[in-house]
Amino acid sequence: MLSRQGPRRLFRLFPPRQLSRRCLSSSRVMTSSAKGTDGMALQQPRQFPTTGFEVVDPAQKIEEERLPLYVRDEYYPMRIGEVVHEHYQVVAKLGYGTSSTVWLARDLRNGKYWVLKVYINTLQHNQELLVYNYLAKAPSNNPNQLGFAHVRQSHESFQIDGPAGKHDVLAMTPLGMSLKTFQNMQKERVFPRELVAGALEQVFLGMNILRESDVIHTDLHADNLLIALADDSILASVEQNEIDTPCARKQIGENFIHVSQYVLGGRGALVISDFGQARIGAKQHGNAMPVPYRAPEVILGMQWGPEVDRWSAGLLAWDLLEKEKLFDVYDSESQEHNDACHLAAMTALLGPPPPAFLEKSPVTRKYWDDDGNWTGLVPLPTERTFESLATALKGDDRDTFINFVECFLWWAPEQRFTALQGYMHPFLRGETLPKDVD
């Protein structure tokens, strides 16, 4: 059974009304004056400044323009103050990525705030939207399940027309900063044991929901773990700030690129987010996962499944507590050389793969002989053990942590701990291993 008290909440980052740039005051929205097509009364949209902001030099690349594959016409030219889908008034820009921009919007029907993720217009297949819609209908993904609060949920999706095509839009509950952002704020850029345990408890509960829903995340790391807002009054302050001190922006013809300026502090649950690389179904093929977190079966072109997320969980635990990574990007120019270095590092740390694992793919013959001896094009690293690499804890605490990570880093996917097994491990319970456990 799971903990009766539920997972620990250890993410009290900032007071709920503090932002990265300034403390902000709250605001009131204007009263109703119209009705939407659904008959609901709509609040009057607020008027946002058209002057008084910093104008960025047109020659300077900002925000999404700095992305290597950026194409201007692919992005929707959103303006702060614009109303989309009849009742969402956009009040601030929160961020951007290779396939979307992210905005804070207020629902004119009820004053509630939502995040709008506005995708580029050239997506042939919107995997993230597909996964969110699938999760919304999954029986195991419901508010009565303990892990529901630890998986990001969609509110609704719709399309808007842009000057160069249609754009998918996903509406979601606003969340705070990522666990990685919070980690980078720490003096040593790592967390104490108690906070790591509290984070992993919540991740495991969310992972269990995904497993029962037949969803493989494939991109599980601290950047994709967001901290919920315990008090959303900060969002009204963000809106008011855009009126009092509007963000800088760059004008291109009649359109603008706004500068995102907010990092929201969180005090709530840790939430698994970003399903752009997720897969539906237990049997998958092909490339997946960020390179340092890539499971061996993915590197070797084998069929893979939900066990790849368990591999990621072990590396996530390590990266939250330890300064030195277990695995890295070794050669960004050559995948063949990088794979060889990556598998050599795994072999040095975990020992040779079992014969049954080697038989799953002919590609393994590039790296090991029939007896599991390393024959790859790079030598094995020397003196690479968990004991030599783990420095954050001492004595029994260190041994317990190493055992915990080892439970997830097995060559054979079926031997890796499940999320619920990890949830009950002594490391997360603040205990040490029994003396009879090696």
Show the tokens assigned to 388.
């030599």
Identity of the amino acid at 399:
D
CATH 1.10.510.10 fits domain 282-423: yes
- Alpha-carbon torsion (209, 212, 216, 220), positive or negative: positive
Whole-angstrom CA distances from 423 to 51, 60, 203 are 53, 48, 9
Where along the chain do its domains lie?
32-178+232-272, 282-423
**Are the C-beta atoms of 56 and 259 separated by less than 8 Å?**
yes
CB 317 within 8 A of CB 201: no
Q: How many helices (H) and strands (E) does the chain have?
A: 11, 15
Residue 200: phi, psi to the nearest 5? -70, -35
Token code pair at residue 150: 């630890």
Identify whether the C-beta of residue 226 lies closer than 8 Å to the C-beta of residue 297.
Answer: no
pLDDT at position 437: 64
The β-bridge partners of 83 are 89
Number of Cβ atoms within 10 Å of the Cβ of 71: 12
Nearest 5°: phi and psi at 240? -65, -35
Measure CA of the first residue to CA of the last residue in the chain; give whole Å.
Answer: 25
CA-based radius of gyration for the chain: 24
CA atoms of 153 and 219, how far apart (whole Å): 17
Scored b (16 or more CB within 10 A) or e, 138-164 reads: bebbeeebebbbbbbebeebeebebeb
Instruction: List, in order, residues 6 or more apart from 291 with CB less than 8 Å away.
Output: 329, 338, 342
For residue 9, what pLDDT is reported? 39
What's CA 271's distance to the chain center, in Å?
8
* Helices 307-321/395-406 angle, 10° precision: 150
CA 168 to CA 161: how far, in whole Å? 9
Q: Mapping DSSP to helix (H, G, I), strand (E, B) and coil, where does residue 246 land?
A: coil
Give backbone dihedrals phi and psi of 264, rounded to 5 degrees, phi first: -85, 125
pTM of the model: 0.90
Rounded-to-integer distance, Cα 225 and Cα 244, Å: 31
Sequential DSSP letters for 355-395: HHHHTT-GGGGGTB-TT--B--SSPPPSS--HHHH--SS-H
State which amino acid sits at residue 371.
Answer: D
On whether the CB atoms of residues 271 and 150 are closer than 8 A, the answer is yes
Catalytic residue among 107, 168, 219, 319, which? 219
Strand partners, 333: none
319 in active site: no
> 84 by DSSP, 3-state: which?
strand
CB atoms within 10 A of CB 28: 9
Rounded to whole angstroms, the Cα distance separating 255 from 247 reads: 15
CA distance 115 to 88: 10
Element (H, E) at 178: strand 175-178
Is domain 32-178+232-272 annotated with CATH 3.30.200.20?
A: yes
Binding residues: 117
Across the 438 residues of the chain, what is the mean pLDDT of every consecutive 10-residue run? Answer: 38 35 34 64 95 96 97 98 98 97 98 98 96 97 95 98 98 96 94 98 98 98 96 92 96 95 85 98 96 98 98 99 96 96 98 96 95 95 94 98 99 98 97 79
Task: Report pLDDT for 33.
Answer: 56
Q: State the alpha helices, DSSP H only, in 103-259.
A: 127-137, 179-184, 193-212, 233-244
CA–CA distance, 187 with 138 (Å, rounded to integer): 41
Q: Of 147, 111, 189, which Cα lies nearest the Cα of 2?
A: 147
